Amino acid sequence: MAKAKKIIVGSRGSKLALIQTNWVISELKRLTPKLEFQIEKVSTKGDKITDAPLSRLGGVGLFTKELEAALIKGKIDIAVHSAKDVPTEIAEGLTIGATPKREDPHDVLISNNNATLEKLPDNARIGTSSLRRRAQLLAFRPDFKILDLRGNLDTRLKKLDTDDMDAIIVAYAGLIRMGYDGRISQIIPFEIMLPAVGQGSLCIEIRKDDALTEKIVSGMDDPQTRVAIEAERALLAKLQGGCQVPIGAYAQILKKEVCIEAIICTLEGDHAIRDRHSGPVKQAAKIGNELAMRMLENGGDRILHDIRQEFQGRIDHL
């Protein structure tokens, strides 16, 4: 009898990425116990450059391009991504084979003295690498001083403990997966901060022509998560958003409809376009696209144009 094929699973090398990848493998083993899986660590541009804000690096796919290249070359069979890192345009020849059930997509505050956003001192210093978080924080409290914070989750927690910061903002899902949820000071309500597109979800990427791997991973797909992510990614694609654009969005299935809410902010949080839309689940992408068009028409296009002009100038001078 021929030996079963070994499935090579590509992952970034960070602690959180490996936890996520090992969870995916454990689920795949449960579904296909006779198969063997092996992790191949792949370093991405976003992992290598840690001394500059993501918004200054420009481009898309900072945490996915190298994994996609390995997929295309056949060095790996599966790439495990955080959905929020996956560009809206998938590389040619590749596809999302499964979107597992989403973890909680909220952002959370981790602060000294366990203070909430409302209780932080005047001019509190908050660390985050996300322009989306920065803009929504400043919209809530313009007195906050936002400090750029890069690095993996362990590094960010260490910087809060050792650097002159009052708090940091991170994704709830990452803390849960790493078992650090005991450090949470506040789960930030969506009314204050909408998450990044895809936040809390994973994407399992495969080659389009790999029918065997597609069959293997399909059992991990969660239909409700896939629909929600489809709506969010359609909105982001229409807005042409990336790491350098403060866009938040969250979609969910309610009463057999996909309901999506989104926000476009200025960098300083002094102006925002926020709106919501809903419709049939089977038209998730259309619903996301329609919401994006409406937001652009209501002033979002001007906000995004001004932000891109500013960041293009910064990138040109690097």
Specify which residues 169 forms β-bridges with.
109
- Per the residue annotation, which of 85, 107, 166, 210 is the catalytic one? 85
For tokens 């906050």, the residue is 144
Contact at 8 Å (CB) between 264 and 249?
A: no
Specify which residues 6 forms β-bridges with.
36
Q: How many CB atoms lie within 10 A of CB 45?
A: 14
Q: Respond yes or no: is residue 77 known to be catalytic.
A: no
136, 108, 135, 112: which is closest to 124 by C-alpha? 112
For tokens 């092996």, the residue is 38
Residue 53's φ and ψ, nearest 5 degrees, are -60, 145
199, 226, 248, 233: which is closest to 83 by C-alpha? 199
Contact at 8 Å (CB) between 249 and 195?
A: yes
Q: In sequence order, which ranges of the chain are alpha helices (DSSP H)?
A: 15-31, 45-48, 54-57, 65-72, 131-140, 153-162, 172-178, 211-218, 223-239, 284-295, 301-316
**158: which 2 tokens?**
């260490």
DSSP 211: H
**Catalytic annotation, residues:** 85
